[in-house]
Chain A
């Protein structure tokens, strides 16, 4: 398992407390960039701009990745383009919402 995969796996423990679903299955993680030195840059979004939980969730993502042994500096970039849409969710996430 490479570092990106490890990070993605770890992020499955960070939940959106309103939807009670992890940020990976929700499709909030747009990209993970890493360097050999262990610097990490995560690009992510939220389901709606102005989400009142935005600080909590982005901090949670950073804390979670910082806790991994292989990482050094972690930067979280919150972006709104492309906007989140339901098709970004994983099959697991869609099932959990009971819609598909």
Chain B
């Protein structure tokens, strides 16, 4: 028999601080993208405004939200307490100050972004240390530990590569490797850190939210094996410049992702809950979209248009796989956190609302459907280089994000 003291005992203010910060960063990044639309549609992704917006979106929104979610989900998935909540709060303030100052200097004076970058790095290192110490206390490591542990290693590599990029920019050294470092930074950050993390936690959350039982877990080992092999081979190919190796790497990533999609469909088919919640359904649809993007990236790698489409594909990958997954799960996590804070002492004494009643579910399907449409419009605008189409799509996406953030904030009134 396992000890009784299992589950999340995390102070709700810790994950909540990260989540609230991330929502503000999300809105700010969207507004910045709107103002820089002209440059992006001209094919100029590497300009200060875009660097700043991209980092606000990826670090301020997605990374901060992933950190907040991990403070909530690690105790749930690994049956262990957070190593030090005090360190968690200190880490939040350092990372928040780092991300804000990093985004500001990237916008106004990118050559001075090293110190804010180091501050962000410090915050992230504290987070990695916190999580590794927490995982160490796990009684029985499993395949989820491998996914999350490897994701943390990828996060560390992403940040190290990012700092190296800024160092190269400041000193002018290592120009021969600049492209390879830049590509590796994207690979480790998007497919290494975020994808492996979403894979790992999906294996806990999908059965939990669909009430699935009696499904096999052997597939998860293949997902891990193929996907991490793909990451390593692609990373090597960026530095030795062998395009065949890149193709092999992209193929392994596609295989790993496809097995994951298949495995999740097996788990869903074993569910007891016939009608799935809307936000959860969107998180599941993000898996299909991520799989399509992996397939497109692999197929287009064989064509001469790859360099032209990789920017839009990365954009689609961030928005339709990473952001849509996180958004879907966030609609579940935030009501849970607020419910725990407000009603956990009331249950058994008075009538308490169900988690579903904490949020306006009717709004979720149109909002997230509109987001997918807006991202598709922006994606097309980037391919055909249409500033008008970009502005329309990005305007709709920004409005959707503001409505989404408002919806999350509205939970706090319940």
On A, residues with C-beta under 8 Å from B are 13-15, 17-20, 47-57, 59-64, 67, 77-81, 85-86, 97-99
Contact = CB atoms under 8 A, between A and B. Distances in A.
Nearest to B336: A52
Interface of B: 1-2, 4, 6-9, 72, 75-79, 204, 207-209, 211, 213-214, 272-275, 336, 339-340, 343-345, 347-349, 351-356
Contacts of A18: 208-209, 336, 354-355
Contacts of B78: 50
A86 B9 CA distance: 27
Given A50-B79, A56-B340, A59-B344, A15 B273 contact: no
A49 B6 contact: yes
A15 B79 contact: no
8 contacts: A17-B339, A49-B6, A52-B75, A53-B7, A54-B7, A56-B343, A60-B348, A86-B211
Given A52-B7, A52-B76, A56-B340, A15 B352 contact: yes
A46 B115 CA distance: 48
A17 B7 contact: no
Contact of A48 (B208, B272, B340): B208
Residue from B78, B274, B353, B354 having most chain A Cβ neighbours under 10 A: B354
A49 B6 CA distance: 7
Contact of B345 (A47, A59, A99): A59
Contacts of A67: 348-349
A77 B354 contact: no
A98 B213 CA distance: 16
A97 B75 contact: no
Contacts of A86: 211, 213, 272
B7 A98 contact: no
B208 to A, nearest CB: 6
A99 B79 CA distance: 29
A20 B356 contact: yes
Contacts of B354: 15, 17-18, 20
A26 to B, nearest CB: 10
A86 B353 CA distance: 24
Nearest to A21: B354
A85 B76 CA distance: 19
B273 A99 contact: yes
A61 B76 CA distance: 21
Contacts of B1: 79-81
B270 to A, nearest CB: 10
Given A15-B354, A80-B2, A59 B348 contact: yes
Contacts of A80: 1-2
A53 B4 CA distance: 13
Contacts of A99: 272-274
B348 A50 contact: no
